[in-house]
Amino acid sequence: QQPVQSPQAVILREGEDAVINCSSSKALYSVHWYRQKHGEAPVFLMILLKGGEQKGHEKISASFNEKKQQSSLYLTASQLSYSGTYFCGTDDSGGSNYKLTFGKGTLLTVNP
Amino acid sequence: GAVVSQHPSWVICKSGTSVKIECRSLDFQATTMFWYRQFPKQSLMLMATSNEGSKATYEQGVEKDKFLINHASLTLSTLTVTSAHPEDSSFYICSARFPPAGNTIYFGEGSWLTVV
């Protein structure tokens, strides 16, 4: 089941903040966030495991609400290098059939 | 993070021929690798899960005989696109599961396939 990401696109000025959401209709065991720049492969940002945690990575952090089957990625004080398409990948299998299903992505553009 | 290497980065082949793409985990043993396909401005679509020493598990709608996957060792998985057609042109990306990091999945650099 493909997770739903919102918004589809967002345009920021350097220094502004953004939130990208990811929701699923199925119970999730983990949520993974990636950033992909044009013509390149996705780059891993962070993983959130079942247990409702929040993680941070410099000015990028994320939360995971397993009860609501939702995750949010927070980008604060955005930099030009943050531009790209952000994908959430969800694992709803929990083990033997482990795989990630990705949302359609959120295109983030950071302008000077 | 773990390193996954994919080769070739881009390939052009004639319609009807076959092309092989390699995916290697460079600094860890990957019992599970995944092959994705991505069309321009679209999401990553899982094609198949490759398990070392066993047959790959294909997603619904993916032709097993057209996209041959072999995972002969703990560090190498290959995808062979057989009898390629122009509609097979796409960005193919492999990834590997890294259990020590909570089953984080790391991607290779991707391979651009153009069938002419």
Paired strand residues for B77: B23
What residue type is assigned to position A41 of the chain?
A
Chain A residues within an 8 Å CB radius of B45: 102
Per-residue pLDDT reduced to its tens digit, B9-40 = 999 999 999 999 999 999 888 889 999 999 99
Would you say residue A83 has pLDDT above 90?
yes
Percent composition of chain A: helix, strand, coil (DSSP 3-state, to 5): 5, 55, 45
Residues in B closer than 8 angstroms to A4, CB to CB, are none
Chain B residue with CA closest to A94: the answer is: B103
Q: Which residues of B touch A28 (CB under 8 A)?
A: none
Task: Return phi, psi of residue B18, to 5°.
Answer: -110, 150
Task: Give mean pLDDT, residues A67-72.
Answer: 92
Res. B1: pLDDT tops 70:
no
A42 vs A59, which has greater pLDDT? Answer: A42
Which residue from B6, B32, B44 is facing A102, i.e. has the nearest CB? Answer: B44
In degrees rounded to 5, what are phi and psi of residue B86? -55, -35
Chain B's closest residue to A49, CA to CA, is B102
Q: Where residue A11 falls among pLDDT bands split at 50, 70, 90?
A: very high
Q: Are the CB atoms for A88 and A43 separated by under 8 Å?
A: no
Instruction: Name the nearest CA neighbour of B46 among A77, A18, A99.
Output: A99
pLDDT for position A52: 59
Closest-CA residue in chain B for A47?
A: B104
Label residue B101 by pLDDT band (50, 70, 90): confident
- Using CA atoms, how far apart are residues B71 and B32, in angstroms rounded to an integer? 9
Residue A74 pLDDT greater than 90, yes or no:
yes
Averaged pLDDT for residues A21-47:
94
Mean pLDDT, all residues of chain B: 93
